[in-house]
Amino acid sequence: MNEAEKQSDKVIGLIPARYASTRFPGKLLADLNGKPVLQWTWEKACEAESLDRVIIASGDEKITVAARDFGAEVIDVFEDCASGSDRIARALHQLEDDGERFDIVVNIQGDEPLLDPATIDKVVERLLSDPEAGVATSATPIRTEGEYRDSSVVKVVMDKSGRSLYFSRSPIPHGWNSREGVAYCHIGLYAFRRDVLIDFTNRLPCEIEKAERLEQLRLLHHGIEVVVVAVEESGIGIDTEEDLEMVKITLSRR
């Protein structure tokens, strides 16, 4: 792909944001050093050079009010959605109904206040540079045995060119240890080609996706190439109040 073709692609960052959360209700509006968690994530996304626009796809009036208060552009998607991918697809349809068009859609998790904007740029660039790939995402090396064994940590195995072979909550590859070899933790940031996102969200979950509880396996099941960018920093996703306290400590050290 030449430079002119790259520049012609319009890229939007969409942040799916709902108020409900099983383990930490209202976490996106929880106070983090004077600002809601969601605001930190939105500000980081706005620093990414690859995004032409950043919009919050709100699933709740509380989210909408708070996001507009801190200056974000918001699209209301209040209906029930099975996943964040479904919510951003519906937001994209609303934009297209208004005559707008985007070629690349980046799904940015709202609970990632330490997200490095450079990671977004690397993921977008990886997708733009590979015309055969339908989706790009990111991963970081696993460094501890506990992380490797933790079922809440999603692992990804890649081929030599960085294409994903499989995602799992199980410890893969088997036999890894911290002294030799490399295992990767998947970071839930996705850059979709527009048509791939729409097709993906129109398909029913496959059996292996339901078994692992990982929607990205639907992409592999249907033959979509998912390329992975390896980065050093993963940030800290906030799923519990303990995670929030950990982020506060990290920010205080910075």
Task: Report the percentage of the chain scoring pLDDT > 70.
Answer: 97
Residues 57 and 163 in one domain: no
Query: Residue 67: pLDDT above 60?
Result: yes
**Range in 104-108, 128-132, 178-182 with the lowest mean pLDDT:** 178-182
Q: Outline where DSSP puts E strands in 123-182.
A: 135-141, 155-158, 164-168
How many distinct structural domains can be found in the chain?
2
Q: What integer is the mean pLDDT of 72-81?
A: 95
Asked whether 55 and 73 are in contact (CB, 8 A), the reply is: yes
Q: What is the pLDDT of residues 182-200, one digit of tens each?
A: 899 999 999 999 999 999 9
Q: What is the pLDDT of residues 163-183, one digit of tens each?
A: 999 999 999 999 898 887 789
Query: Residue 218: pLDDT above 60?
Result: yes
Of 63, 92, 111, the position where a domain reaches its end is 111
Name 31's bridge partners: 36
Full residue range of the structural domain in which residue 70 is found = 1-111
In a domain, 240, yes or no: no
Residues 167 and 138 in one domain: yes
Give the pLDDT of residue 4: 46
In a domain, 179, yes or no: yes
In a domain, 249, yes or no: no
Which residue intervals of 79-136 are DSSP H helices?
Answer: 84-97, 117-128
In a domain, 51, yes or no: yes
Asked whether 137 and 85 are in contact (CB, 8 A), the reply is: no
Residues 28 and 124 in one domain: no
SS (H, E, C) 51-65: CCEEEEEECCHHHHH
Query: Residue 5: pLDDT above 50?
Result: no
Q: What integer is the mean pLDDT of 26-43?
A: 95
Residues 76 and 37 in one domain: yes
Query: Residue 31: pLDDT above 90?
Result: yes
Query: Residue 110: pLDDT above 50?
Result: yes
Asked whether 15 and 41 are in contact (CB, 8 A), the reply is: yes
Residues 96 and 127 in one domain: no
Residues 93 and 151 in one domain: no
Rg (CA), the chain: 18
Give the pLDDT of residue 121: 97
How far from each other are the two terminal CA atoms of the chain, in whole angstroms? Answer: 39
Residues 58 and 148 in one domain: no
Question: Which helix (H) or strand (E) covers residue 187, if one does?
Answer: strand 184-193
Distance separating alpha carbons of residues 192 and 190, to the nearest angstrom:
6
Query: Residue 2: pLDDT above 70?
Result: no
In a domain, 145, yes or no: yes
CATH number, domain of 103, equals 3.90.550.10
Distance of CA 215 to the CA centre of its chain: 12
Residues 175 and 210 in one domain: yes
Is beta strand 35-36 parallel, antiparallel or unpaired with respect to 155-158?
unpaired
Q: How confident is the model at residue 21 (pLDDT cuts 50, 70, 90)?
A: confident
Give the pLDDT of residue 7: 52
